[in-house]
């Protein structure tokens, strides 16, 4: 079980971990040991996450979200399988914590009276410049 907050926890059946061979440095070890972890969290089927949190999580996950509604995280930062597993679980918990935060509603602001006046004065000045470009009188 993975504890996210005091109210939300992820059960073990919701998370599947698969160990795969990591790319990058590691010498001969890299070809023999499956140290990278692929963590798969069945977010869409999770009874512990409310619907709005799931939608925010989907948006945060981006390409890591599958069509089946699962969140897939791959970690191959260290040569240690256990540490990679820890990092993946920490990242999942952090993503869910971010999704728990409700975005603040934007309150539209009105332009100030001074800014409106400056805008109109600028437009008037520009119009006068263009008006002076007109025809030339043959004197």
- Give the residue extent of every domain in the chain: 2-100
Q: Is residue 40 classed as helix, strand or coil in its secondary structure? A: strand
pLDDT of residue 105: 92
121 near 128, Cβ under 8 Å? no
pLDDT of residue 109: 94
- Cα–Cα distance, 21 to 115 (Å, whole number): 60
Among 59, 94, 98, CA closest to 75: 94
Q: What contacts 86, CB < 8 A, 6 or more positions away?
A: none
- Cα–Cα distance, 15 to 92 (Å, whole number): 10
pLDDT of residue 120: 97
- Cα–Cα distance, 99 to 64 (Å, whole number): 15
Q: Cα 7–4–92 angle (5° rounding)?
A: 150
- Cα–Cα distance, 133 to 139 (Å, whole number): 17
CATH level 2 (architecture), domain 2-100: 2-Layer Sandwich (3.30)
Question: Residue 40's beta-bridge partner residues?
Answer: 16, 72
Among 5, 76, 67, CA closest to 39: 76
pLDDT tens, residue order, the chain (139 aa): 777 777 888 877 888 888 888 776 666 666 777 888 889 998 888 888 888 888 998 999 889 898 988 889 988 888 888 899 899 999 998 998 898 888 899 999 999 999 999 999 999 999 999 988 877 777 6
The model scores a pTM over 0.85? no
């Amino acid at each position: 079980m993975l504890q996210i907050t005091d109210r939300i926890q992820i059960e073990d059946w919701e998370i599947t971990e698969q160990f795969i061979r990591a790319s990058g440095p590691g010498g001969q070890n890299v070809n023999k040991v499956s140290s990278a972890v692929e963590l798969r969290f069945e977010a869409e089927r999770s009874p512990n996450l409310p619907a709005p949190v799931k939608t925010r999580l989907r948006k945060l996950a981006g390409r890591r979200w599958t069509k089946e509604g699962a969140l897939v995280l791959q970690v191959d930062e260290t040569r240690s399988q256990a540490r990679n597993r820890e990092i993946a679980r920490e990242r999942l918990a952090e993503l869910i914590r971010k999704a728990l935060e409700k975005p603040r509603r934007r309150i539209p602001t009105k332009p100030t009276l001074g800014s409106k006046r400056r805008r109109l004065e600028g437009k008037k000045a520009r119009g006068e410049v263009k008006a002076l470009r007109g025809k030339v009188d043959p004197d």
